[in-house]
């Protein structure tokens, strides 16, 4: 095992996991709007979904995208369309009340897990993880290490962002304030699409 490369990977992954991106912006908004406990399935969906993607691509699924690059293009624009929809949903969301119907709910485990496959930042992280840090250890132990660290850092970063949103609940007490905050989050989510179009 290359300890220096392992340390470099941990630094890379920590920066990528904790910096703002679609997942973290959505968790921040969900923590504020719904609270921490209802956001737990969203947290676990991101964590497990991303780690699974690292494992799947590392174990050979990535060769399919090399052989059929059109699939990457399809995923990219499907991701853009879904992020625009999520931005609209976030902008329209309000804290649930006793007389509110079930339309406004935090993202489910499976919704968050499947979202990783159309998340542009997620793909940047996966490609960087699999290609730049493949020499951490011999195959397939390198993939096992990368998946394990992705699970650990994923839980830590997702929990941090959701708790940050939850901590804002006593500050943003009015529905108008929550709506304004969520609109700002929606705009930031749309802004995260900028790198996607720059690579187009």
Q: What is the mean pLDDT of residues 75-90?
A: 79
pLDDT (0 to 100) of residue 91: 84
In the DSSP assignment, the letter for residue 99 is T
pLDDT in tens, 167-196: 998 888 788 888 888 888 888 878 866 655
Q: What is the DSSP string of 125-170?
A: HHHHHHHHTGGGSSTTHHHHHHHHHHHHHHHHHHHHHHHHHHHTTT
pLDDT (0 to 100) of residue 65: 66
Q: How confident is the model at residue 17 (pLDDT cuts 50, 70, 90)?
A: very high
Q: What is the mean pLDDT of residues 154-159?
A: 96
Quick check: 92 pLDDT over 80?
yes
Determine which of 7-11, 41-45, 88-92, 128-132 has the lowest per-residue pLDDT on average.
128-132
Read off the tokens for 192: 């995260």
Mean pLDDT for the chain overall: 84
Quick check: 86 pLDDT over 60?
yes
Q: What is the mean pLDDT of residues 139-163?
A: 94
Tell which residue, 18, 156, 172, has the closest CA to residue 93.
172
- 168-179 burial, b if ≥16 CB within 10 A, otherwise e? bbeebeeeeebb
For 2: left if phi > 0, alpha if psi spans -120 to 50, otherwise beta; the answer is beta
Distance from C-alpha of 38 to C-alpha of 143, rounded to nearest angstrom: 31
Q: How confident is the model at residue 138 (pLDDT cuts 50, 70, 90)?
A: confident
Q: What is the mean pLDDT of residues 26-48?
A: 94
Beta carbons of 133 and 5 less than 8 angstroms apart:
yes
pLDDT in tens, 46-79: 999 999 999 998 888 767 766 777 876 777 777 7
Beta carbons of 50 and 34 less than 8 angstroms apart:
no
Distance from C-alpha of 161 to C-alpha of 129, rounded to nearest angstrom: 22
Read off the tokens for 90: 């976030």
Read off the tokens for 61: 């699924």
pLDDT (0 to 100) of residue 118: 83
CA 80 from centroid of its chain's CA atoms: 14
Q: How confident is the model at residue 101 (pLDDT cuts 50, 70, 90)?
A: very low
């Amino acid at each position: 095992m290359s300890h220096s490369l392992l340390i470099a990977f941990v630094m890379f992954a920590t920066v990528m996991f904790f910096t703002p991106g679609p997942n973290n912006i959505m968790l921040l908004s969900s923590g504020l709007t719904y609270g921490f406990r209802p956001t737990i399935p969203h947290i676990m969906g991101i964590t497990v979904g991303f780690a699974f993607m690292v494992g799947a691509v590392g174990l050979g699924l990535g060769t399919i995208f090399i052989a059929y690059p059109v699939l990457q293009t399809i995923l990219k624009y499907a991701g853009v369309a879904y992020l625009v929809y999520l931005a609209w949903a976030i902008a329209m969301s309000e804290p649930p009340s006793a007389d509110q119907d079930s339309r406004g709910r935090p993202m489910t485990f499976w919704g968050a897990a499947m979202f990783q496959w159309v998340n542009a930042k997620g793909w940047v992280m996966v490609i960087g993880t699999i290609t730049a840090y493949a020499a951490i250890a011999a195959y397939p132990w390198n993939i096992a290490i990368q998946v394990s660290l992705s699970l650990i850092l994923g839980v830590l970063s997702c929990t941090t962002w959701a708790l940050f949103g939850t901590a804002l609940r006593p500050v943003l007490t009015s529905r108008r304030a929550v709506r304004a905050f969520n609109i700002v989050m929606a705009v930031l989510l749309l802004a995260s699409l900028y790198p996607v179009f720059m690579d187009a």
